[in-house]
Structure 1
Amino acid sequence: MALPDVVVLFDVDNTLLDNDRVTADLKQHLRQEVGPKREELYWTIFEQLRRELGYADYLGALQRYRLEHPRDPHLLTVSRFLVNYPFAERLFPRAIEVVKHVKPWGRAAILSDGDVVFQPRKIERSGLFEAVEGRVLIYIHKEQELDDVEQRYPADHYVLVDDKLRILTAVKQRWGSRVTTVFPRQGHYAHDPEILRTFPSADLTIERIGDLLTVDRETMLAAAHDR
């Protein structure tokens, strides 16, 4: 019998890349450049925009911040900090190895939410764009675009690695046994007790992304059917 065609889909933020640490670095930079009051204003705008859009938009928040402080000379410094941030230094240990590890199973791709400028920049500068050979999908709400994912990367079986149980649950409801959901317990969402109470467990839970190096193809595919 022919082996099933597999596509492994990786989230980026807090899955392959430590985005909590990126945010902490940005907070420190903002505090130094614009002071605590304007830093607080930036994050207020950031959260407002996230509620409107459904994803984090760091540069979009900076644009709105500019509307309130159009003459602030520190804006360009903050913008440069974001655009030139060394994302490759914030990859979780062995993240690139994990992407290479799953390639014999089938194709590996990035499946992310985000804006159309900063998120692609992050993926490219981190080395993830090259690691997945340019197979990158970025949506506003990726769990709502699974038909497009299937059209672009058709497969018999999918593996989705994501730090958000909400996303894993939504995709599992849509794809059922055709997907193995993998939950790396990294980042603040993965340890939020309310989230853990609200959503069911994934097919496979790991403590860190590097743990996938110990999982083989057969175990991964069987995990979906076990549920």
Structure 2
Amino acid sequence: MTRRDRLRIQMSHDVRAIAREIITNEGVEALTLAEIARGVGVTPAALYRHFKDGLPEIVSRVAEDVVDDLVQELQSAVDSYPADNFAMRMIAPVRALRSWAITHQPEFNLLFGTPSAAAGDAHGELTSAWVRRLAAIWGPTFVQLWTERGFPVHAEDEMDPRLRQQMLDYGADTGVDLPPGAMAVMLSCWRSLYGQIALEVFGHFAPLFSDQEPMFELLMQDLVRSMGLGDQYQPPTR
């Protein structure tokens, strides 16, 4: 590797680190090329030599860094339970996601919140990439559960044809090998859990509920019971 290559890699690292710091401290809408350049010690124009698409590309690279860290944390939570404990391999990463979201709200907002002007057209690609990574966390557990034990699903001929096709498309895109009915169950679980987390993170229940963990745990118990896994549920340790 040449000295120029090392400098290029270091510059890319420094830019992403500064941009992530700004997002963490001030939110993604505070992110500008001028602020990043000031933090790195270069001119805004110089950033285009490393990120030709400017600010949206920097936001995308930062989002990738955030997702990499988060996925590693979620996967560690999954792996902390044995392969046959399906309920806890579903629940553990959701608990980890909730904890992360509460303590990393600006980064949660970058990935899951309203599309930001700083991300521009890149926000759609950012979201799609994150959804694929998310499928790799929960998908294998649902596939194994479906293969070994099964769980209640709607018959395919009872599904709206549009929904059935969307489930097939999602499976083809993410590599999660489930029939449409089982896929719909997996995504319905995720929709419910994400909705609960988002309501808490964005303060929609405050100040009515100062401690929202009991409601969160009740939802998870209901979901795993609906799949016949209620006996595997373990309450969070204190």
Structure number with the higher helix fraction is 2
Q: Which has the larger radius of gyration?
A: 2
Structure number with the higher strand fraction is 1
- Higher RCO, 1 vs 2 (CA within 8 Å, ≥6 residues apart): 1
